[in-house]
Amino acid sequence: MFGQLLIGFAQPFVLAAPTTYSDLWFSPAGRTTATAVASLANPFGAALGQLISPFWVSDPSDIPYSILWVSIIATVATIPSFFIPRKPPSPPAPNSGPIATLDQTSTNSIKEDLRVLLTSLEFYLIFIPFAVYVGFFNAFSSLLNQILEPYGFSEDDAGIAGAVLIVVGLVTAAITSPLNDKYKFYIWFVKISVPLIALSYLIFIFAPPTRSIPYVYVVCALLGSASFGLVPVVLEFLVEILHPLSPAADNFSEGVSL
């Protein structure tokens, strides 16, 4: 339980960092793609876990060993974080302002930016649906086994469904993020994806009673593609609409949303 609390405490700081680093290290032509790679690394790991765990843990006695290996892998994966530079040697683009202001941001300016942020209607119009859908997705992916098992689906079926949910979403994000970098259709992507997510949840209500695993996989694929494609778009769109607020305010808004 203590370990879960530590992970939960650390995640908002990690999940809110990609947009600041993409703004520091990449030009506008590649920022959405960079944000997608960084922000979707977390669900990619979840996909691997959901796909591997059902085959790795076949007996309750295997659980302590699986946790041990996960701990070892996680510990090794943290080592590169100590060598990440604070900023690039030169700006990637003329408008990469945070490099110039990163060391000059005062407490007063952060407070003022947060005040502007919390009174921004545009922020709430993005924050509310994004926060709701992220909460729904986390609950759905965590409870997928419990949702499917009463209808006769096995743990392997649920694990594969979770992997389909995440892998299809990652592929979709890999395709749509470069397109968003090039054409900047953030708002249209949001307007299409959010209703599609709502429709996917509605359709899924009727999927388990059919006892058709292809039906479940198709709905999970649709839900994953809309959900994961939306994450980097919303994070970058928040940076766009909140400009020229400081990186600290951007990180606060994204951390709260996630």
CATH number at residue 227: 1.20.1250
What letter would DSSP give residue 27?
A: -
Is residue 83, in this structure, part of any structural domain at all?
no
Whole-number Cα distances in Å, 117 to 12, 20, 45, 110, 124 = 18, 16, 32, 10, 9
Identify the domain containing residue 129 by its residue range.
2-71+108-257
- Is the Cα dihedral 107, 109, 113, 115 positive or negative? positive
The residues, ordered by sequence, that sit 6+ positions from 91 with a Cβ below 8 Å of its Cβ are 99, 100
Cα angle value 34/228/57 (rounded, 5°): 105
Is residue 200, in this structure, part of any structural domain at all?
yes
Is residue 139, in this structure, part of any structural domain at all?
yes
- The tally of domains found in the chain comes to 1
Is residue 103, in this structure, part of any structural domain at all?
no
Provide the residue-wise pLDDT of the chain in tens; the chain has 258 residues. 777 787 777 776 776 677 777 777 887 777 778 877 777 777 777 667 766 776 777 777 878 888 888 889 888 988 988 888 877 777 776 655 544 444 444 454 767 777 877 888 888 888 888 888 888 888 898 888 899 999 989 888 888 898 888 889 888 988 888 888 788 888 888 889 889 999 999 999 999 999 999 999 999 999 999 988 888 888 778 777 777 776 556 655 555 555
Among candidate residues 247, 236, 100, 113, the one with its CA nearest the CA of residue 176: 236
Is residue 91, in this structure, part of any structural domain at all?
no
| Whole-number pLDDT of residue 208 | 92
| Whole-number pLDDT of residue 220 | 93
| Whole-number pLDDT of residue 95 | 55
**Does residue 87 sit in helix, strand or coil?**
coil
| Whole-number pLDDT of residue 106 | 46
Is residue 80, in this structure, part of any structural domain at all?
no
Unique residue bearing structure tokens 């996909």: 47
